[in-house]
A = this chain, B = another copy of it.
Amino acid sequence: MARKTGSHADITGPRVRAAALQLFARHGYAAVSMRQIAAEVGVQAGALYLYTPDKQALLFDLMRAHMREVLDRWRDEPKGLSPGERLDAFTRYHIRFSLDRPEAVFVSNMELRNLTPEHFAQIEAMRRSYEDELEAILVAGRADGTFRLEDSKLAALAIIAMLTGVTGWFRSGGRLSRDRVEQVYRGMVRGAAGSA
């Protein structure tokens, strides 16, 4: 049961990553066995090692891919010119991105402690550089008087924590639409930044 049409389309590799992501998100990295992942893909456990050197690499690849996408897509985002507009764009971007990939966000936030020290350092660096993106907006806005805040590093961390929390309770089809959630958070983030 190998090889699909058109040369050798790698279809199982992505399926392994998708299954691992879903299971890690639902039960946690440590609580998921390679055999469970394999069963989800419809394959025996040994076959997973054609696509990953080990379980740890599976987690790391998932998290690295997610963080890369977070950073890359933010760079591609059209940005407003004023700090206020840029903050709004950040809010909207973070919420949309998080709601589009709830499992990846969840895993990336929860499984940091299950990375080896080397892997942790790499993910942590990407995470920090994302925080720096927001902090730069806050610093610019404080400089030109748009924001009134006491500590821009703290504010960046607080705002990201607030935004990431959305994935914890949002249910599509629930009381609030995505647009409404974005709108409400835009107001709260502006408020937290001391924007007029």
* Chain A interface residues (CB < 8 Å from chain B): 26-28, 30-31, 110, 113-114, 149-151, 154-155, 157-162, 164-165, 168-169, 176, 181, 183-185, 187-189, 191-194
Contact = CB atoms under 8 A, between A and B. Distances in A.
Contacts of A31: 30, 114
Say how many copies of this protein the assembly contains.
Answer: 2
Given A31-B114, A161-B161, A193-B191, A151 B184 contact: yes
13 contacts: A28-B28, A28-B30, A28-B113, A30-B30, A110-B110, A149-B187, A149-B188, A150-B183, A150-B184, A154-B185, A158-B165, A162-B162, A191-B193
Contacts of A155: 184, 188
